A and B are shown apart, each in its own frame.
Chain A
Amino acid sequence: MTAPAGELREAAPVLRMRGITKTFPGVKALSDVNLTVRAGEIHAVCGENGAGKSTLMKVLSGVHPHGSYEGEIDFEGAPVAFKDIRASERHGIVIIHQELALVPYLSIAENIFLGNEQARRGFIDWNGTLRRAAELLDRVGLRERPQTPISELGVGKQQLVEIAKALSKEVKLLILDEPTAALNDEDSAKLLDLILELRAQGVACIVISHKLGEIRAVADAVTILRDGQTIETLPVRESPGAEPELSEDRIIRSMVGRDLDHRFPERTRYEGADAGETAFSVSGWTVRHPVDRERTVVDDVSLTVRRGEIVGVAGLMGAGRTELAMSVFGRSYGGYVTGTVEVAGRAVHTGTVPAAVAAGIAYVTEDRKQYGLNLIDDINRNISLASLAGMVRRGAVDEHHERRVAERYRTSMNIKAPTVHEQVGRLSGGNQQKVVLSKWIHADPRVLILDEPTRGIDVGAKSEIYTVIDRLAAEGKAVLIISSELPELLGMCDRIYTMAEGRLTGEVARADATQEVLMRHMTMNRS
């Protein structure tokens, strides 16, 4: 099904965006950006958060209508001017956003044809709808009945429904914004295969992604944006199906404009007298599913973290890592929790969040928007929220002290915002993560549990956060990192635990750890 070798380089461009400049009040989001996508090509767009990727896609799909930007767009050889999304969809340009836009209570078929209902004289033609939906599901390789409600599907399958929906619109250019951000490895692999197959059917594709490994795996070319400008467009491979020629380091260099030889900081040792003493231990921890009490989500897990030590927890989706952390942190997850937690050698009660915080435990959630931040409030108040009691002077929160604390973190964590009164919802992902970290660092815990601390943030901010984590360990805090990125665990941790199906399946010292070793433990099946 793949196109003959060598054909791609000569293929005519299906899309050509020239000199795109888009200005928001006070900010130049895009300046003179060029993007050319050839027919039947998978074209990756990457860049740090805030580089302008999403804005460029909004210009292309008509979210920012013609006239609100400067520059020209040619599609299939003719200039186009979209005034809204419908206009771009009529030309066959369909965008699938990072946050899926499906209605949970409607069926797959209803969702696929939402806004594009298969109707005859104003009434829905259910037979036609179901038949066409079934065809589309077949095309994307999703084996589900079209009548199944979306809420019964996992995120991976929902992503496929989105693609089926795009296909129903006779898509010629599919734009995927971070398509695998929420997917596990298996679902990601399936999705990438599907993209390759669509290319073979002649659908060009723009993929925005942070995952450089994926870009290398599927893309034919990659355009790198930085600070609203096109840095360069690089070919990834000679021809479809060929081995990639472009290295990840090369892409990273172009994204950040500097060599990132030291993505992970050199570990600084904690020099205290009590170095090496156990700071945090969990033993015999068992958690049942909150609704389905028969299901054991975390099964008899015991682990320890010493002072000044960074310990990782690796595992595939559904291994029970987040459930472990949240149940320890104030029973925020699960039912029938049993087991004991010790902080600095003393058994502590962690039945509620305030109790866990008082015991010296902090938990930085994997989903900062849902569970970590009050997006409509400012940096100042988000940072103080977990330690307000410590800022009270004569019965009231000392606002000046509070603001000074916030200012201090803005500087020390390099949070990019004009003042600490900036609304957190307006910050980029990396800066939001720094705010959440500041909040918990200021609560001065002995133990920090970081759940996916660098998910969805750009390379530059990642390395800043690694430096902060290292500094915390050097101060003698016990740090437990849960991460799906194995290089991150390998780069940061002294020891790594692996989990699978709710159980601890291994403990690997830094010296012995490789991705292969970890993956072997993570995929161990229950015998």
Chain B
Amino acid sequence: MTTTTTPPEEAATAKAAPSTGALLLHGLRTNMRQYGMLSALALIVLLFGFWTDGALLRPGNISNLLQQNGYILILAMGMMIVIIAGHIDLSVGSVAAFVGAISAVMMIEHDLPWGLALLLSLAIGAVAGAWQGFFIAYLGIPSFIVTLAGMLLFRGLTQITLAGQSLSPFPEGFQNLAKGVVPEAGPAWRIPLPFEFQLDLGFIELRTEAIGPYHNPTVLIGLVVIAFLLLREVRDRRRQRAYELEVLPRNIWVLKCVAIVAAVCAFTLTLASWHGMPVIMLIVCALLLGLGYVMRNAVVGRHVYALGGNKAAAKLSGVKDKRVTFLVFVNMGVLAALAGCVFAARLNSGTPQAGLNFELEAIAAAFIGGASMSGGVGTVLGAIIGGLVLGVLNNGMNLVGVGTDWQQVIKGLVLLAAVGVDVANKRRAGS
């Protein structure tokens, strides 16, 4: 589309460029919620790392932590989008259980190949989401009610499907969804160091005489990710220049790139020194990249934000509100189905009690990760951060030996505190 009211070009360039400090401050302020959560996560990780004498940060435990929380992270991403759109979904736990049960019936009772069964399961999730999305989007019934009904309905259907029994075991390929790692390939290598490297941070101790052996595919994935992220940074910067937009000063930008590389390196090497990258982590990362990109850059994603921010204004701007809402719930249904399959695979059985309270964990993760009750705010990455905060708390408290009773108390307080701090911040900024 063209704009005919183009201003004189010199007017655009005449404006003085804002100072470095102002730019940084602005960046910090606009992403405050995200940085805040990220530093809270880092703080919790360090705290428990110290507390557990480094047990939390051991490669085996990190791998375990990811596998334990994979399904919650998947649900949290979908829930975040639902909440951004200004809705809520209470049915995800039941939908996950229902789909897990169906997948068990398909694979265990009817011997369907696990790949096909997985695809069919996701399709069933989409239908479940479409069923609820229809009532919410096209009939205008509040999502709280529709999904509360869905919570009962799908829980009941789960019990009917399984006739109250658990089904097991799943084929090994299917189990790998939750428990597997990327298979090792290539030679085992090891580069001896000329000296013994020693690092003692008090709670974590590094001592090694050689680099390696590392899990090759994991290292490769890490390198690909680094290349991808750096390329994106460079391209963004060049594009911003081309459009004459202000860019970060060079040294700060380089610092940012170094930080990105260091973070990815530390993480992948940790995993590579154990059995390698868990499959579930690949799934979560792919979803994070895909959904994050859609929410940020695709028209439909923008429309979700606009709908949650001001539905009336979005409609009058040409947003197809009903279709967008419907799609949001279909997406949630598919993700709930995936989470259900992952959970069933992890448990290695389809049980009627699967997925209990998943919806609450997913909602908590979304709110800890920066969602707003009134919609229109939040990011998919935020949902992951929120989910990890809960996951690390769970894992860390288990390692320290806190009972599940106190764990619940603490998680409740963390949720309250996270949202409380957010509200206080907003109030200070708003008045």
Contacts and interface: CB of A to CB of B under 8 A. Distances in A.
Given A363-B316, A377-B376, A404 B244 contact: yes
A363 B6 CA distance: 21
Given A395-B298, A397-B297, A408-B7, A373 B313 contact: yes
A310 B296 CA distance: 38
A404 B296 CA distance: 17
A253 B3 CA distance: 35
A357 interface: yes
Interface stretch (A71-79, A161-169, A381-389): A381-389
Contact of B306 (A352, A363, A374): A374
Interface in B242-276: 242-245
A332 B317 CA distance: 11
Nearest to B298: A396
Contacts of A87: none
Interface in B302-353: 302-303, 305-306, 309-310, 312-320
Contacts of A444: 1-4
A106 interface: no
A264 to B, nearest CB: 19
B313 A372 contact: yes
A231 interface: no
B12 A411 contact: yes
Interface residues of A, number: 53
Interface string B1-38: 11111110001100100100010001000100000000
Contacts of B298: 395-397
B35 to A, nearest CB: 15
A450 to B, nearest CB: 14
Given A376-B376, A396-B298, A419 B313 contact: no
B318 A357 contact: yes
Given A376-B377, A385-B317, A407-B245, A399 B297 contact: yes
Interface residues of B, number: 45
Nearest to B236: A400
A411 B310 contact: no
Given A388-B302, A411-B15, A329 B7 contact: no
B299 interface: yes
Contacts of B3: 405, 408, 441-442, 444
Question: Which one of A385, A388, A443 has the highest number of Cβ atoms from chain B below 10 Å of its Cβ?
Answer: A385
B309 A376 contact: yes
Contact of A385 (B6, B18, B306, B376): B306
A52 B161 CA distance: 66
Contacts, number: 125
B245 A403 contact: yes
A226 interface: no
Contact of B317 (A397, A403, A439): A439
A71 to B, nearest CB: 19
B26 A419 contact: yes
A404 B243 contact: yes
B394 to A, nearest CB: 32
A356 B305 CA distance: 22
A353 B315 CA distance: 7
A307 B106 CA distance: 65
Contacts of B320: 352, 354
B14 to A, nearest CB: 8
Nearest to B238: A400
A418 interface: yes
Contacts of A404: 243-245
B239 interface: yes
Nearest to B5: A441
Contacts of A405: 3
Given A389-B299, A411-B15, A475 B5 contact: yes
Contact of B1 (A329, A390, A468): A390
Contacts of A389: 299
B208 interface: no
A30 to B, nearest CB: 15
Contacts of A468: 5
A329 B320 CA distance: 14
Given A396-B293, A399-B297, A443-B1, A370 B313 contact: yes
Contacts of A386: 317-318
Contacts of A397: 297-299, 302
A365 interface: yes
A404 B244 CA distance: 8
B425 interface: no
A388 B7 contact: no
A374 B376 contact: yes
B11 A353 contact: no
A392 B299 contact: yes
Interface in A355-380: 356-357, 363, 365, 370-377
Contacts of B18: 418-419
A472 B245 CA distance: 27
Contacts of A353: 315-319
Contact of B302 (A329, A373, A385, A471): A385
B26 A421 contact: yes
Interface in A2-25: 24
Contacts of B372: 376
A442 B236 CA distance: 24
B283 to A, nearest CB: 22
Interface in A85-123: none
Question: Which one of B242, B296, B316 has the highest number of Cβ atoms from chain A below 10 Å of its Cβ?
Answer: B316
A401 B12 contact: no
B240 interface: yes
A388 B319 CA distance: 10
B297 A373 contact: no
Contact of A400 (B15, B245, B317, B318): B245
A374 B5 contact: no
Nearest to B310: A374
A412 interface: yes
A397 B306 CA distance: 14
Nearest to A477: B4
Contacts of B239: 400
A375 B305 CA distance: 12
Interface in A435-489: 439, 441-444, 468, 471-472, 475
Interface of B: 1-7, 11-12, 15, 18, 22, 26, 30, 236, 239-240, 242-245, 293, 296-299, 302-303, 305-306, 309-310, 312-320, 372, 376-377, 431
Given A411-B12, A442-B1, 10 more contacts: A329-B316, A353-B317, A371-B312, A374-B313, A385-B314, A388-B303, A411-B7, A418-B22, A444-B1, A468-B5
24 contacts: A330-B316, A354-B320, A372-B316, A374-B314, A375-B309, A375-B310, A377-B305, A377-B309, A381-B306, A385-B306, A385-B317, A387-B1, A388-B299, A388-B303, A397-B298, A400-B243, A403-B245, A404-B245, A407-B245, A411-B7, A419-B26, A421-B26, A471-B5, A475-B4
User: What are the 7 A-B residue pairs with the smallest beta carbon separation, nearest first?
Assistant: A412-B7, A374-B309, A390-B1, A396-B297, A386-B317, A374-B310, A354-B318
